[in-house]
Every structure is written in structure tokens, then in C-alpha cells.
Homo-oligomer: A and B are copies of this chain.
Amino acid sequence: MKDLRQVTVLGMGLLGASVTLAVMRSISRIRAVGYSHRASTRKKAEDLGVAHEISNGLAESVQNADLVILATPLSTFEDVFQEIAQHLKPGCIVTDVGSTKVHPHHWAEAHLPKTARYVGSHPITGSEKRGIEFARDDLLTGARCVLTRKASTDENALQTVQAFWETLGCMVHIMGPAEHDRTLGYVSHLPHVLAVALVNASDPGRLQFAGKGFIDTSRIASGPSNIWTDILATNSDNVVRGIHRVVKELLRLQTAIRGGNRKQVEKLLEQARARRAELIDYKIRNKELL
């Protein structure tokens, strides 16, 4: 960590700008540099003061960085890796905040120079809102952050990235990229698909009667479509498998309801209630929920 003098975040959306804000708040000796390919976003980033410096060029933004963090959509990673490759300092650590990890590891191997050290990061936080306007210096506080490593991952780089996120208030977990994508497929990407299916299955004319239940169950369907298309596309096997499991559970419920099998319906509802109660208790004990 003590070797980090400049951190450059590429992409000044909700998450990217929250990272530079958190760096400015928590590690004052590190210079936080931000870059966005849009001039209008760079202007907003300047106006909002989300970083020590907003760079006007991608190459220029990374050339003095000790740590580069991609906070752009997953679909841009390959291009960004290629564009920054020749501008990175030797030993520079590169990470990202993408919601899937198998593909980023592949792309980093394919396009980054051997002198750069890639580690995958996924801070599990965010909002259905998007854009720099919603950035907050405490968005990462208390969030879990999964770091992903392969056999080839540099151990020192991994430790530095871990210390970095921990200093910003994250709880760090380390796993392989495939295990990450399986896990997040269930706890994050599958709920998203369900929320989308629920809204699309609903009858717009009746939605005025939606109460808090519908509003909460569907909340994440308000997330940005392009970002989520990237996520689903880069984790398709796990998501396809997850949909299969959910459909099976739905049909099990449907059969019990159609057949008037109250005992079975109540058993399935109670199983879910108990399992969620355990989850909520765990999250409260762990101070992830109040």
C-alpha cells in the first residue's frame, strides 16, 4: 500500500467516482486521478470535485499511476486494456470493478503487458441509480469486495489491492474468477433477471395498484440496461443455469397451488422464510444491515 502514490480510475460513473471520492476521504496521501471519455462527464467530475485531478486523455491519465482501476462497462474492458497497455509504468497494478470476473482475467492476460500486474476486484455495492451525480464517498463502506486471483496472479499485487479496498472500508474475500461468477450469478445476476421478468410479465394497466412488495421486488430492474446486458453476456452459463433452477422452483409452487396442496405450499413458503431469516440475521450480526 505504501507504494501507491497515484490511483487512476477510468470511468466516472456512480462507482468510479465513488472510488475516487473514497480515496480522497480515506487515504489523503494518494493522488486520485479520474478519467472519462465523455467531455461532459469530465466537466461534471471537475465541477463536483470528485478527484484530485480529472485527466483529459486516457494515456495521460494512466502513465504515472501505480494502480489503475477500470470502472467502465465490462464491454469496454478489452479496448481499454489494449489502449492503456503501452502507457503503463512497469509493475503497475491493474484492477477493475466489473461484476463478472472470468472474462476480465482472460482479457487482461491477452492484452496487458507482462510488466503489468492484474487482479480482479468486485466491490458488491451500487444502486439502481447511475451517473456521477449519485457518487458518494461512503458507497464502499461496509461493502464486501471479492478479489479474484489465478495461479499466475502476483501475490504482492493481490495484497496491495486487498489493503487498498480494506482502507476504503470494504470486507475483502479472495476466490477464483470462476467461483466468483458462479456465486454472483446466484446472488446478483439471477435476482436481476427475475426482476426484469416480473416487470415484463406484468400488465402496465394494473401497475398503479403495485404496493411496496412489487416496488422492492422489481427495484433492480431499474438498473442500466447496457451495464446489465454486459453482465449477463459475460456470465451466461451461470445465469442460464440459475434461470433453470428458478423456473423449477416456480413450477413446483405452481403445481402445489394448482393442486390445492396447502401443506406443500406452506412448506415451500416456510423454507424460503426461514432461509431468508438466517441470511438477514447473518447480515445484521455482520453489521452489513442495520
The residues of A with any CB-CB pair to B shorter than 8 Å are 124-126, 143-144, 146, 173, 182-184, 186-188, 190-204, 206-226, 228-229, 232-233, 236, 239-240, 242-251, 253-254, 257-258, 260, 262, 265-266, 268-273, 275-280, 282-283, 286, 289
Q: Identify which of B216, B243, B254, B286 contacts A217 (C-beta below 8 A).
A: B216
Contacts of A193 in B (CB 8 A): 250, 253, 257
**What separation, in Å, do the CA atoms of A209 and B279 have in the docked complex?**
10
Contacts of A222 in B (CB 8 A): 273, 276-277, 280
Are B273 and A223 touching (Cβ within 8 A)? yes
- The DSSP consensus for interface residues of chain A is helix
What are 24 A-to-B residue pairs whose CB atoms are below 8 Å? A126-B211, A190-B201, A191-B198, A193-B250, A194-B198, A195-B272, A197-B250, A199-B271, A201-B242, A207-B278, A208-B279, A213-B220, A217-B219, A218-B276, A223-B273, A229-B269, A232-B265, A233-B257, A233-B265, A236-B258, A236-B260, A239-B257, A240-B258, A247-B251
Contacts of A224 in B (CB 8 A): 273
**What separation, in Å, do the CA atoms of A182 and B203 have in the docked complex?**
10
Using known A-B contacts A144-B211, A257-B240, determine if residue A200 contacts B247 with beta carbons closer than 8 Å. Answer: no
